């Protein structure tokens, strides 16, 4: 691979939406937590579900907002905001499909294929 193509790949990866969406594991854990939630959650419960600190959940939510996949439930007189995934969003639907496929494949038992010699 020549230097120019390496630079081009580096630029493409840096601009890739998937790489930006999941730039760190916390964002992936926050999205996974919201997939399993049956109701909108406050940051404290998202942090507990994701197994991370609240401060990094705030950072992750700020970045995830840019992708338009969050519903933010703001109720007058209630603090804090509650968050859920926007289930009507195409990206949310695609992410759910990818998450389910990845989970199934990760937990799929290995199949022992006998060799021709057996």
When pLDDT is cut at 50, 70 and 90, the band that residue 3 belongs to is low
**pTM score, whole prediction:** 0.81
CA distances from 36 to 31, 39, 63, 83, 99 (A): 9, 9, 20, 12, 11
Tens of pLDDT, residue by residue over 10-47, are 888 889 998 889 989 999 999 999 999 999 999 999 99
**pLDDT in the model for residue 108:** 86
Task: Report the candidate in 35, 45, 38 with the shortest Cα–Cα distance to residue 93.
Answer: 35
pLDDT digits (tens, 9 = 90+) for 73-100: 987 777 789 999 999 999 999 999 999 9
Architecture label for domain 24-105: Orthogonal Bundle (1.10)
Number of H-type helices and E-type strands within the chain: 6, 3
Q: Is the pLDDT of residue 118 over 60?
A: no
Q: How far apart are CA 43 and CA 57, in angstroms?
A: 7
Domain ranges of the chain: 24-105
pLDDT reported for residue 115: 73
pLDDT band at 5; cut points 50, 70, 90: confident
For the segment 54-67, the average pLDDT, to the nearest whole number, is 96
Which of 4 and 46 is assigned the larger pLDDT? 46
Radius of gyration (C-alpha) of the chain in whole angstroms: 19
């Amino acid at each position: 691979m020549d230097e120019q193509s390496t630079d081009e790949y580096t630029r493409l990866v840096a601009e890739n939406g998937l790489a930006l969406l999941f730039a760190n594991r916390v964002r992936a854990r926050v999205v996974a937590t919201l997939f399993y939630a049956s109701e909108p959650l406050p940051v404290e419960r998202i942090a507990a579900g994701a197994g991370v600190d609240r401060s990094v959940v705030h950072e992750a939510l700020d970045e995830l907002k840019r992708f338009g996949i969050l519903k933010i439930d703001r109720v007058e007189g209630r603090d804090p905001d509650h968050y859920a995934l926007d289930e009507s969003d195409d990206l949310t639907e695609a992410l759910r499909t990818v998450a389910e496929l990845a989970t199934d494949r990760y937990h799929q038992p290995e199949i022992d294929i006998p060799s021709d010699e057996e």
